[in-house]
Structure 1
Amino acid sequence: MALTDEAILKIKSMIRSGELRPGDRLPPEKELSEALGLSRSSLREAVKALEVIRVLDVRRGDGTYVTSLTPDLLLDAMSFVVDIHQDASVLELFEVRRLLEPAAAGLAAPRAAACDVEHLHGLLAQVHATTSVEDLVAHDQVFHRYIAELSGNAYLTSLLETLSSSTLRARVWRGLSEEGAVERTLTEHRAIVNALASGDAALAAAHATVHIDGVAGWLRRAMG
Protein backbone atom coordinates (compact mmCIF):
# COMPACT_ATOMS: atom_id res chain seq x y z
CA MET A 1 0.00 0.00 0.00
CA ALA A 2 1.32 3.46 -0.89
CA LEU A 3 2.29 5.62 2.09
CA THR A 4 -0.28 8.23 1.09
CA ASP A 5 -3.05 5.62 1.02
CA GLU A 6 -1.93 4.38 4.45
CA ALA A 7 -2.09 7.92 5.82
CA ILE A 8 -5.58 8.42 4.36
CA LEU A 9 -6.81 5.19 5.99
CA LYS A 10 -5.42 6.24 9.38
CA ILE A 11 -7.12 9.65 9.25
CA LYS A 12 -10.39 8.05 8.12
CA SER A 13 -10.10 5.60 11.04
CA MET A 14 -9.82 8.54 13.45
CA ILE A 15 -13.01 10.01 11.97
CA ARG A 16 -14.89 6.70 12.13
CA SER A 17 -13.87 6.09 15.75
CA GLY A 18 -15.08 9.53 16.77
CA GLU A 19 -11.58 10.70 17.70
CA LEU A 20 -12.12 13.36 15.04
CA ARG A 21 -15.66 14.69 14.70
CA PRO A 22 -17.35 16.95 12.12
CA GLY A 23 -16.01 20.46 12.56
CA ASP A 24 -12.98 19.37 14.60
CA ARG A 25 -9.61 20.87 13.90
CA LEU A 26 -6.79 18.41 13.19
CA PRO A 27 -3.80 18.47 15.56
CA PRO A 28 -0.66 20.26 14.31
CA GLU A 29 1.11 18.43 11.48
CA LYS A 30 4.16 17.42 13.56
CA GLU A 31 2.01 16.10 16.41
CA LEU A 32 -0.36 14.18 14.13
CA SER A 33 2.39 12.63 12.01
CA GLU A 34 4.15 11.35 15.14
CA ALA A 35 0.89 10.01 16.61
CA LEU A 36 0.10 8.12 13.40
CA GLY A 37 3.67 6.94 12.81
CA LEU A 38 3.85 8.70 9.43
CA SER A 39 6.27 11.04 7.75
CA ARG A 40 5.10 14.64 7.52
CA SER A 41 5.24 14.48 3.72
CA SER A 42 2.93 11.42 3.64
CA LEU A 43 0.53 13.12 6.03
CA ARG A 44 0.58 16.29 3.91
CA GLU A 45 -0.31 14.35 0.75
CA ALA A 46 -3.09 12.51 2.59
CA VAL A 47 -4.57 15.80 3.76
CA LYS A 48 -4.50 17.12 0.19
CA ALA A 49 -6.26 14.02 -1.06
CA LEU A 50 -8.94 14.19 1.63
CA GLU A 51 -9.40 17.89 0.88
CA VAL A 52 -10.05 17.07 -2.78
CA ILE A 53 -12.82 14.62 -1.86
CA ARG A 54 -14.23 17.10 0.67
CA VAL A 55 -13.60 15.14 3.85
CA LEU A 56 -11.18 17.80 5.14
CA ASP A 57 -11.29 21.57 4.82
CA VAL A 58 -7.89 23.29 4.71
CA ARG A 59 -8.19 26.91 5.82
CA ARG A 60 -5.04 28.82 5.01
CA GLY A 61 -3.55 30.45 8.08
CA ASP A 62 -6.10 28.80 10.36
CA GLY A 63 -5.74 25.04 10.21
CA THR A 64 -7.31 21.88 8.81
CA TYR A 65 -10.82 20.88 9.85
CA VAL A 66 -13.06 17.88 9.37
CA THR A 67 -15.97 18.99 7.18
CA SER A 68 -19.60 18.79 8.23
CA LEU A 69 -19.63 15.25 6.76
CA THR A 70 -23.19 15.74 5.64
CA PRO A 71 -24.64 12.92 3.48
CA ASP A 72 -24.10 14.78 0.21
CA LEU A 73 -20.43 15.38 1.00
CA LEU A 74 -19.89 11.80 2.09
CA LEU A 75 -21.66 10.49 -1.00
CA ASP A 76 -19.38 12.58 -3.22
CA ALA A 77 -16.28 11.37 -1.36
CA MET A 78 -17.43 7.76 -1.57
CA SER A 79 -18.14 7.95 -5.29
CA PHE A 80 -14.73 9.55 -5.88
CA VAL A 81 -12.88 6.65 -4.28
CA VAL A 82 -15.16 3.94 -5.70
CA ASP A 83 -14.64 5.33 -9.20
CA ILE A 84 -10.92 4.73 -8.85
CA HIS A 85 -10.49 1.67 -6.66
CA GLN A 86 -13.47 -0.52 -7.48
CA ASP A 87 -14.95 0.43 -10.84
CA ALA A 88 -13.18 -1.62 -13.51
CA SER A 89 -14.81 0.49 -16.21
CA VAL A 90 -12.35 3.30 -15.41
CA LEU A 91 -9.49 0.99 -16.35
CA GLU A 92 -11.36 0.07 -19.53
CA LEU A 93 -11.59 3.75 -20.40
CA PHE A 94 -7.82 4.06 -20.05
CA GLU A 95 -7.37 1.00 -22.26
CA VAL A 96 -9.41 2.76 -24.95
CA ARG A 97 -7.34 5.93 -24.46
CA ARG A 98 -4.23 3.78 -24.94
CA LEU A 99 -5.53 2.82 -28.37
CA LEU A 100 -6.72 6.26 -29.48
CA GLU A 101 -4.19 8.73 -28.02
CA PRO A 102 -1.24 7.22 -29.98
CA ALA A 103 -3.39 7.25 -33.12
CA ALA A 104 -4.11 10.95 -32.62
CA ALA A 105 -0.43 11.72 -32.01
CA GLY A 106 0.56 9.76 -35.10
CA LEU A 107 -1.93 11.65 -37.27
CA ALA A 108 -0.86 14.98 -35.74
CA ALA A 109 2.87 14.53 -36.41
CA PRO A 110 2.87 15.31 -40.16
CA ARG A 111 0.31 18.08 -39.65
CA ALA A 112 1.99 19.93 -36.77
CA ALA A 113 3.38 23.25 -37.98
CA ALA A 114 6.14 25.19 -36.23
CA CYS A 115 3.53 27.43 -34.59
CA ASP A 116 1.74 24.36 -33.20
CA VAL A 117 4.94 23.02 -31.68
CA GLU A 118 5.66 26.47 -30.23
CA HIS A 119 2.18 26.55 -28.71
CA LEU A 120 2.68 23.12 -27.10
CA HIS A 121 6.03 24.22 -25.68
CA GLY A 122 4.21 27.24 -24.26
CA LEU A 123 1.74 24.93 -22.52
CA LEU A 124 4.62 22.94 -21.02
CA ALA A 125 6.23 26.14 -19.73
CA GLN A 126 3.11 26.87 -17.68
CA VAL A 127 3.72 23.80 -15.51
CA HIS A 128 6.42 23.65 -12.85
CA ALA A 129 7.35 21.66 -9.75
CA THR A 130 4.95 23.58 -7.49
CA THR A 131 1.95 23.21 -9.81
CA SER A 132 -1.08 21.83 -7.97
CA VAL A 133 -2.52 18.47 -8.96
CA GLU A 134 -5.74 20.09 -10.16
CA ASP A 135 -3.79 22.50 -12.39
CA LEU A 136 -1.62 19.65 -13.67
CA VAL A 137 -4.68 17.66 -14.72
CA ALA A 138 -6.21 20.77 -16.34
CA HIS A 139 -2.95 21.24 -18.27
CA ASP A 140 -3.03 17.58 -19.28
CA GLN A 141 -6.54 18.01 -20.68
CA VAL A 142 -5.62 21.06 -22.75
CA PHE A 143 -2.40 19.42 -23.98
CA HIS A 144 -4.11 16.25 -25.21
CA ARG A 145 -7.06 18.14 -26.67
CA TYR A 146 -4.72 20.28 -28.78
CA ILE A 147 -2.91 17.23 -30.15
CA ALA A 148 -6.24 15.53 -30.90
CA GLU A 149 -7.36 18.60 -32.83
CA LEU A 150 -4.08 18.52 -34.79
CA SER A 151 -4.99 15.01 -35.94
CA GLY A 152 -7.55 16.61 -38.26
CA ASN A 153 -10.17 14.01 -37.33
CA ALA A 154 -13.18 15.57 -35.61
CA TYR A 155 -14.66 12.21 -34.58
CA LEU A 156 -11.42 11.10 -32.95
CA THR A 157 -11.14 14.45 -31.17
CA SER A 158 -14.67 14.13 -29.83
CA LEU A 159 -14.11 10.58 -28.60
CA LEU A 160 -10.90 11.54 -26.82
CA GLU A 161 -12.56 14.56 -25.20
CA THR A 162 -15.26 12.28 -23.76
CA LEU A 163 -12.68 9.78 -22.51
CA SER A 164 -10.58 12.54 -20.98
CA SER A 165 -13.53 13.97 -19.06
CA SER A 166 -14.51 10.51 -17.80
CA THR A 167 -11.07 9.78 -16.34
CA LEU A 168 -10.48 13.08 -14.51
CA ARG A 169 -10.97 11.71 -11.01
CA ALA A 170 -8.50 8.88 -11.51
CA ARG A 171 -5.90 11.31 -12.87
CA VAL A 172 -6.34 13.67 -9.91
CA TRP A 173 -5.97 10.75 -7.49
CA ARG A 174 -2.83 9.56 -9.25
CA GLY A 175 -1.35 13.04 -8.97
CA LEU A 176 -2.07 13.08 -5.25
CA SER A 177 -0.86 9.59 -4.43
CA GLU A 178 2.11 9.06 -6.76
CA GLU A 179 5.34 10.84 -5.98
CA GLY A 180 6.86 12.88 -8.82
CA ALA A 181 3.66 12.97 -10.89
CA VAL A 182 4.28 16.54 -12.12
CA GLU A 183 7.84 15.87 -13.27
CA ARG A 184 6.89 12.55 -14.87
CA THR A 185 4.00 14.09 -16.78
CA LEU A 186 6.13 16.96 -18.02
CA THR A 187 8.91 14.63 -19.18
CA GLU A 188 6.46 12.46 -21.10
CA HIS A 189 4.72 15.48 -22.63
CA ARG A 190 8.06 16.93 -23.77
CA ALA A 191 8.92 13.64 -25.47
CA ILE A 192 5.61 13.74 -27.38
CA VAL A 193 6.15 17.36 -28.45
CA ASN A 194 9.70 16.63 -29.62
CA ALA A 195 8.42 13.74 -31.73
CA LEU A 196 5.73 16.00 -33.22
CA ALA A 197 8.37 18.63 -33.97
CA SER A 198 10.39 16.06 -35.92
CA GLY A 199 7.30 14.95 -37.83
CA ASP A 200 7.92 11.35 -36.76
CA ALA A 201 4.46 9.75 -36.53
CA ALA A 202 5.69 6.40 -35.19
CA LEU A 203 7.78 8.05 -32.47
CA ALA A 204 4.94 10.38 -31.45
CA ALA A 205 2.58 7.40 -31.18
CA ALA A 206 5.14 5.44 -29.15
CA HIS A 207 5.63 8.26 -26.64
CA ALA A 208 1.87 8.73 -26.32
CA THR A 209 1.55 4.99 -25.59
CA VAL A 210 4.17 5.18 -22.84
CA HIS A 211 2.41 8.21 -21.35
CA ILE A 212 -1.04 6.60 -21.17
CA ASP A 213 0.47 3.28 -20.04
CA GLY A 214 1.97 5.04 -17.02
CA VAL A 215 -1.45 6.15 -15.76
CA ALA A 216 -3.11 2.84 -16.63
CA GLY A 217 -0.36 0.93 -14.82
CA TRP A 218 -0.82 3.03 -11.69
CA LEU A 219 -4.59 2.43 -11.85
CA ARG A 220 -4.13 -1.35 -12.07
CA ARG A 221 -1.92 -1.26 -8.99
CA ALA A 222 -4.37 0.99 -7.13
CA MET A 223 -7.20 -1.42 -7.87
CA GLY A 224 -5.03 -4.21 -6.49
Structure 2
Amino acid sequence: MTDARPAPRARPARRLLRQEVADGIKRFILDNRLRPGDPLPTETELCEALGASRSSVREAVKVLDALDIVEVRHGHGTYVGRLSLSSLVEALAFRGLLSPDDDFQVLADLVDVRELFEQGMADRIVASLDGAQLDRLDALVARMREHGAQAAAVDDGGADLVPADRAFHALLVAPLGNQLIGQLSVAFWDVYAIVAPRLDGFTDADRAATVTAHQSIVDAARAGDIKGFTRALGEHYAPVRRRIAEARAHRPDPA
Protein backbone atom coordinates (compact mmCIF):
# COMPACT_ATOMS: atom_id res chain seq x y z
CA MET A 1 0.00 0.00 0.00
CA THR A 2 1.38 3.37 -1.02
CA ASP A 3 1.98 5.89 1.73
CA ALA A 4 -0.16 8.89 0.76
CA ARG A 5 1.28 11.16 3.40
CA PRO A 6 3.01 14.24 2.02
CA ALA A 7 6.78 14.29 2.17
CA PRO A 8 8.23 16.60 4.84
CA ARG A 9 9.07 20.02 3.55
CA ALA A 10 12.68 21.04 3.24
CA ARG A 11 13.84 23.77 5.55
CA PRO A 12 13.14 27.11 3.86
CA ALA A 13 16.28 28.66 2.41
CA ARG A 14 15.00 32.06 3.54
CA ARG A 15 15.16 31.03 7.19
CA LEU A 16 18.68 29.66 6.75
CA LEU A 17 19.76 32.86 4.97
CA ARG A 18 18.33 35.01 7.75
CA GLN A 19 20.43 33.12 10.30
CA GLU A 20 23.52 33.42 8.13
CA VAL A 21 23.00 37.18 7.87
CA ALA A 22 22.47 37.42 11.64
CA ASP A 23 25.72 35.51 12.18
CA GLY A 24 27.43 37.88 9.76
CA ILE A 25 26.25 40.92 11.71
CA LYS A 26 27.52 39.37 14.95
CA ARG A 27 30.88 38.67 13.32
CA PHE A 28 31.04 42.29 12.16
CA ILE A 29 30.47 43.49 15.74
CA LEU A 30 33.20 41.21 17.06
CA ASP A 31 35.71 41.83 14.27
CA ASN A 32 35.38 45.60 14.69
CA ARG A 33 35.38 45.39 18.49
CA LEU A 34 32.21 47.45 18.75
CA ARG A 35 30.79 48.22 22.17
CA PRO A 36 27.18 48.63 23.37
CA GLY A 37 25.82 51.86 21.92
CA ASP A 38 28.19 51.97 18.94
CA PRO A 39 26.47 52.53 15.57
CA LEU A 40 26.25 49.77 12.98
CA PRO A 41 26.52 50.36 9.21
CA THR A 42 23.39 51.39 7.38
CA GLU A 43 21.04 48.78 5.98
CA THR A 44 22.44 49.39 2.49
CA GLU A 45 26.01 49.01 3.71
CA LEU A 46 25.15 45.77 5.52
CA CYS A 47 23.54 44.41 2.34
CA GLU A 48 26.70 45.14 0.39
CA ALA A 49 29.09 43.88 3.07
CA LEU A 50 27.19 40.61 3.62
CA GLY A 51 26.00 40.05 0.07
CA ALA A 52 22.42 39.77 1.31
CA SER A 53 19.10 41.20 0.23
CA ARG A 54 17.45 44.07 2.07
CA SER A 55 14.67 41.79 3.34
CA SER A 56 17.16 39.27 4.73
CA VAL A 57 19.06 42.01 6.56
CA ARG A 58 15.84 43.41 8.01
CA GLU A 59 14.73 39.97 9.24
CA ALA A 60 18.17 39.30 10.77
CA VAL A 61 18.15 42.67 12.53
CA LYS A 62 14.70 41.90 13.98
CA VAL A 63 16.03 38.63 15.42
CA LEU A 64 19.09 40.30 16.92
CA ASP A 65 16.98 43.16 18.26
CA ALA A 66 14.77 40.67 20.13
CA LEU A 67 17.91 39.18 21.69
CA ASP A 68 19.19 42.65 22.68
CA ILE A 69 22.30 42.15 20.54
CA VAL A 70 21.38 45.16 18.43
CA GLU A 71 19.08 48.09 19.12
CA VAL A 72 16.97 49.69 16.40
CA ARG A 73 16.41 53.39 17.02
CA HIS A 74 13.76 54.40 14.53
CA GLY A 75 14.81 57.46 12.59
CA HIS A 76 18.40 57.19 13.82
CA GLY A 77 19.76 53.80 12.78
CA THR A 78 20.87 50.51 14.31
CA TYR A 79 23.31 50.27 17.20
CA VAL A 80 25.01 47.54 19.21
CA GLY A 81 22.55 46.54 21.93
CA ARG A 82 22.95 46.45 25.69
CA LEU A 83 23.68 42.72 25.49
CA SER A 84 21.50 42.13 28.53
CA LEU A 85 20.01 38.81 29.62
CA SER A 86 16.41 39.86 28.97
CA SER A 87 15.80 36.92 26.62
CA LEU A 88 17.09 34.52 29.28
CA VAL A 89 14.75 36.05 31.86
CA GLU A 90 11.76 35.73 29.55
CA ALA A 91 12.55 32.13 28.62
CA LEU A 92 13.10 30.98 32.21
CA ALA A 93 10.04 32.84 33.47
CA PHE A 94 7.87 31.35 30.74
CA ARG A 95 9.18 27.90 31.60
CA GLY A 96 8.38 28.50 35.25
CA LEU A 97 4.84 29.64 34.49
CA LEU A 98 4.06 26.80 32.08
CA SER A 99 6.04 23.88 33.48
CA PRO A 100 3.76 20.89 32.84
CA ASP A 101 5.50 18.45 35.17
CA ASP A 102 5.93 20.42 38.36
CA ASP A 103 4.87 24.05 38.60
CA PHE A 104 7.09 24.55 41.63
CA GLN A 105 10.24 22.76 40.50
CA VAL A 106 11.46 25.76 38.52
CA LEU A 107 10.95 27.95 41.58
CA ALA A 108 12.90 25.53 43.76
CA ASP A 109 15.67 25.40 41.16
CA LEU A 110 15.84 29.20 41.03
CA VAL A 111 16.15 29.44 44.81
CA ASP A 112 18.96 26.88 44.73
CA VAL A 113 20.79 28.78 41.98
CA ARG A 114 20.42 32.17 43.67
CA GLU A 115 21.58 30.86 47.03
CA LEU A 116 24.50 28.88 45.64
CA PHE A 117 25.45 31.82 43.44
CA GLU A 118 25.78 34.21 46.39
CA GLN A 119 27.12 31.71 48.90
CA GLY A 120 29.73 30.48 46.44
CA MET A 121 31.16 34.01 46.23
CA ALA A 122 30.68 34.86 49.91
CA ASP A 123 34.36 35.42 50.66
CA ARG A 124 34.83 37.67 47.62
CA ILE A 125 31.65 39.64 48.33
CA VAL A 126 32.58 40.25 51.97
CA ALA A 127 36.09 41.32 50.98
CA SER A 128 34.86 43.65 48.24
CA LEU A 129 32.17 45.62 50.09
CA ASP A 130 33.41 48.95 51.44
CA GLY A 131 31.90 51.16 54.13
CA ALA A 132 29.83 53.28 51.76
CA GLN A 133 28.36 50.23 50.06
CA LEU A 134 27.53 48.64 53.41
CA ASP A 135 25.79 51.86 54.42
CA ARG A 136 23.71 51.70 51.25
CA LEU A 137 22.79 48.08 52.02
CA ASP A 138 21.76 49.16 55.53
CA ALA A 139 19.58 51.87 54.00
CA LEU A 140 17.87 49.31 51.77
CA VAL A 141 17.17 47.10 54.78
CA ALA A 142 15.68 50.11 56.56
CA ARG A 143 13.44 50.68 53.55
CA MET A 144 12.35 47.02 53.65
CA ARG A 145 11.57 47.37 57.34
CA GLU A 146 9.54 50.51 56.75
CA HIS A 147 7.54 49.00 53.90
CA GLY A 148 7.02 45.82 55.89
CA ALA A 149 5.61 47.76 58.82
CA GLN A 150 3.26 49.70 56.58
CA ALA A 151 1.98 46.59 54.83
CA ALA A 152 1.85 44.25 57.82
CA ALA A 153 -1.94 44.07 57.65
CA VAL A 154 -2.04 43.55 53.88
CA ASP A 155 -1.64 40.15 52.27
CA ASP A 156 0.32 41.25 49.22
CA GLY A 157 2.68 38.28 48.86
CA GLY A 158 5.58 40.40 49.99
CA ALA A 159 5.26 42.79 47.03
CA ASP A 160 6.07 45.74 49.29
CA LEU A 161 9.62 44.41 49.72
CA VAL A 162 10.30 43.72 46.04
CA PRO A 163 12.06 46.93 44.83
CA ALA A 164 14.37 47.19 47.84
CA ASP A 165 15.09 43.43 47.79
CA ARG A 166 16.09 43.56 44.11
CA ALA A 167 18.33 46.59 44.69
CA PHE A 168 19.89 44.87 47.72
CA HIS A 169 20.97 41.77 45.80
CA ALA A 170 22.19 43.81 42.83
CA LEU A 171 24.34 45.93 45.14
CA LEU A 172 25.60 42.87 46.99
CA VAL A 173 27.52 41.60 43.96
CA ALA A 174 28.23 44.95 42.29
CA PRO A 175 31.60 45.48 44.07
CA LEU A 176 32.95 42.33 42.41
CA GLY A 177 33.22 44.36 39.23
CA ASN A 178 32.12 41.39 37.11
CA GLN A 179 29.40 42.51 34.71
CA LEU A 180 28.31 38.98 33.84
CA ILE A 181 27.94 38.02 37.50
CA GLY A 182 25.87 41.15 38.10
CA GLN A 183 23.63 40.48 35.11
CA LEU A 184 23.12 36.82 36.05
CA SER A 185 22.32 37.70 39.65
CA VAL A 186 19.67 40.22 38.63
CA ALA A 187 18.34 37.91 35.91
CA PHE A 188 17.81 35.06 38.38
CA TRP A 189 16.13 37.50 40.77
CA ASP A 190 13.84 38.83 38.02
CA VAL A 191 12.78 35.34 36.96
CA TYR A 192 12.00 34.46 40.56
CA ALA A 193 10.00 37.69 41.03
CA ILE A 194 7.88 36.86 37.97
CA VAL A 195 7.14 33.27 38.98
CA ALA A 196 6.96 33.62 42.80
CA PRO A 197 3.47 35.21 42.96
CA ARG A 198 2.10 31.75 42.23
CA LEU A 199 2.99 30.91 45.83
CA ASP A 200 0.61 31.76 48.65
CA GLY A 201 1.23 32.09 52.34
CA PHE A 202 3.71 34.98 52.67
CA THR A 203 2.98 35.88 56.29
CA ASP A 204 3.89 38.81 58.50
CA ALA A 205 6.37 36.48 60.19
CA ASP A 206 7.95 35.70 56.80
CA ARG A 207 8.19 39.40 56.03
CA ALA A 208 9.87 40.07 59.36
CA ALA A 209 12.23 37.11 58.89
CA THR A 210 13.18 38.38 55.43
CA VAL A 211 14.07 41.81 56.80
CA THR A 212 16.02 40.28 59.70
CA ALA A 213 17.97 38.00 57.36
CA HIS A 214 18.93 40.93 55.13
CA GLN A 215 20.13 42.85 58.16
CA SER A 216 22.15 39.83 59.28
CA ILE A 217 23.75 39.65 55.83
CA VAL A 218 24.90 43.26 56.13
CA ASP A 219 26.04 42.88 59.74
CA ALA A 220 28.08 39.77 58.91
CA ALA A 221 29.67 41.47 55.90
CA ARG A 222 30.56 44.51 57.98
CA ALA A 223 32.17 42.24 60.59
CA GLY A 224 34.04 40.21 57.95
CA ASP A 225 32.21 37.10 59.18
CA ILE A 226 32.01 34.86 56.13
CA LYS A 227 30.33 31.97 57.99
CA GLY A 228 27.75 34.34 59.43
CA PHE A 229 27.23 35.86 55.99
CA THR A 230 26.63 32.43 54.45
CA ARG A 231 24.29 31.43 57.29
CA ALA A 232 22.28 34.65 56.89
CA LEU A 233 21.86 33.96 53.17
CA GLY A 234 20.41 30.56 54.03
CA GLU A 235 18.00 32.16 56.49
CA HIS A 236 16.96 34.63 53.81
CA TYR A 237 15.85 31.85 51.47
CA ALA A 238 14.22 29.70 54.18
CA PRO A 239 10.71 31.29 54.01
CA VAL A 240 10.35 30.75 50.28
CA ARG A 241 11.59 27.17 50.60
CA ARG A 242 8.85 26.61 53.17
CA ARG A 243 6.23 28.12 50.88
CA ILE A 244 7.33 25.92 47.97
CA ALA A 245 7.17 22.81 50.18
CA GLU A 246 3.70 23.75 51.43
CA ALA A 247 2.45 24.48 47.91
CA ARG A 248 3.66 21.07 46.76
CA ALA A 249 2.06 19.35 49.74
CA HIS A 250 -1.32 20.96 49.07
CA ARG A 251 -1.25 20.51 45.32
CA PRO A 252 -4.22 18.42 44.13
CA ASP A 253 -3.37 15.02 42.74
CA PRO A 254 -3.71 14.89 38.95
CA ALA A 255 -6.89 13.28 37.75
* Aligned residues of 1:105 and 1:151 also touching (Cα < 8 A): no
Match of 2:81 in 1: none
Match of 1:178 in 2: 203
C-alpha distance in 2 between matches for 1:80 and 1:153: 27
C-alpha distance in 1 between matches for 2:128 and 2:170: 15
- The structure with the largest alpha-carbon Rg is 2
Which residue of 71, 88, 93 maps to 2:105? 88
* Range moving further from structure 2, 187-196 or 101-110: 101-110
Which residue of 100, 104, 110 maps to 2:127? 110
> How big is the shift at 1:81?
7.7
- Within 5 A, what are the aligned runs for 1:134-145? 134-145=159-170
| Higher-RCO chain (CA-CA 8 Å, sequence separation at least 6) | 1
The verdict on how the C-alpha distance between 1:184 and 1:159 changes in structure 2, with shifts beyond 3 A counting, is same
C-alpha distance in 1 between matches for 2:143 and 2:188: 24
C-alpha distance in 2 between matches for 1:87 and 1:186: 24
The verdict on how the C-alpha distance between 1:198 and 1:188 changes in structure 2, with shifts beyond 3 A counting, is same
Aligned residues: 145
- The normalised TM-score by structure 1 is 0.56
C-alpha distance in 1 between matches for 2:112 and 2:203: 20
Determine whether 1:213 maps to 2:238.
yes
The percent of aligned pairs where both chains have the same amino acid is: 21
Structure 1, unmatched stretches of 5+, are 1-78
Match of 2:180 in 1: 155
Could you tell me which amino acid in structure 1 is paired with residue 105 of structure 2? A
* Aligned residues of 1:174 and 1:181 also touching (Cα < 8 A): no
The verdict on how the C-alpha distance between 1:135 and 1:179 changes in structure 2, with shifts beyond 3 A counting, is closer
> How big is the shift at 1:179?
3.5
CA RMSD of aligned residues (A): 2.6
- Within 5 A, what are the aligned runs for 1:50-129? 86-127=103-144, 128=146, 129=149
Structure 2, unmatched stretches of 5+, are 1-94, 250-255
Q: Which has the higher helix share?
A: 1
- The normalised TM-score by structure 2 is 0.50
The verdict on how the C-alpha distance between 1:80 and 1:158 changes in structure 2, with shifts beyond 3 A counting, is closer
